[in-house]
Structure 1
Amino acid sequence: MEKVRYLEQSKDLASVHSKYSVKGQTSVSEAENNVDIHFICFIQSDGDLYELDGRKEFSINHGKCDDLLKGAVKIIREVIKRNPNSNEITAQ
């Protein structure tokens, strides 16, 4: 929670965000286009782990989760197991 509070209260981060958030947006690809490179993120809400993927019309509920990091790592490992030779999967 300490890191979360830091991010929420960081004046430097807020300043950088304000500076760059008004620069414009990237164009949105058509829904039917096959997009190889994209970002997903995981969030924890009401005790459940959700995957947010911009290519999908809805979030994916992966079920109950007490630890966001452990839950996300479990899902990421499953994806890597299905695609062990892929060089397109990264985690940051």
Structure 2
Amino acid sequence: MNKASLSFLPIIIIIIIIILQCVICTYESFRQEEEAKIKAQGQEVSSDVYFMKQTIGNACGTIGLIHAVANNQRHLEFGKYQYSPAVCFYDADARDQNELSAHLSSAPSLDEKVDLHFIAFVNVEGHLYELDGRKPFPIVHGKTTEDTFLEDSAEVCKKFMARDPQELRFTVVALSKA
């Protein structure tokens, strides 16, 4: 993730989600150290940041998307249809039952060991926030702008990667304005 490779993206990125291999000992020890440091030093978090803790297992992807959407409503346009017009003509009860069956067929069980973790990065009021539902609060990573958000987020992602240099399974998803 160097500056030159990021420049190939000619659009404004509004959300970054990193998906990482959650090596428990590495992640948990860093998380605890970071929490203690922030509690001791303090940080100023905007009241406009929406943050929720993850209270159930295997929900970090959902929590990451909620963080991403809730903190970017000014950039997102929600249409009048909950579903695309093509499926609005189907029987609502049958559609809901089909969706439920599909979700349940692919959802991991609550006790299934999942070692991936999703973390959202957003720009709220010119500050780069890390929103990780397993942490007790948002993490402020400094100032950012619409133009530097991607590069600033990439720098934070590099730090995640540096903490576990033997791990190669990192994925970064960027969502942009249409």
- Mark yes or no: TM-score above 0.5: yes
The structure with the larger Rg is 2
**SS at the partner of 1:72?**
helix
Q: Which residue of 1 aligns with 2:32?
A: none
Aligned length: 83
Larger RCO, structures 1/2 (Cα 8 Å, 6+ apart): 2
In structure 2, runs of 5+ residues without a counterpart are 1-10, 15-73, 85-94, 174-178
In structure 1, runs of 5+ residues without a counterpart are 30-34
After TM superposition, what 4+ stretches of structure 1 lie above 6 angstroms from structure 2? 1-6
| 2:168 matches 1:75 | no
CA distance in 2, matches of 1:84, 1:3: 26
User: 1:8/1:77 Cα in 2 relative to 1: closer, same or farther (>3 Å)?
Assistant: same
Q: Normalized against structure 2, the TM-score is what? A: 0.36
| 2:167 matches 1:86 | yes
CA distance in 1, matches of 2:155, 2:131: 16
User: 1:2/1:76 Cα in 2 relative to 1: closer, same or farther (>3 Å)?
Assistant: closer
Alpha-carbon RMSD:
3.9
Matched AA of 1:15: Y
Matched AA of 1:40: I
Q: Normalized against structure 1, the TM-score is what? A: 0.62
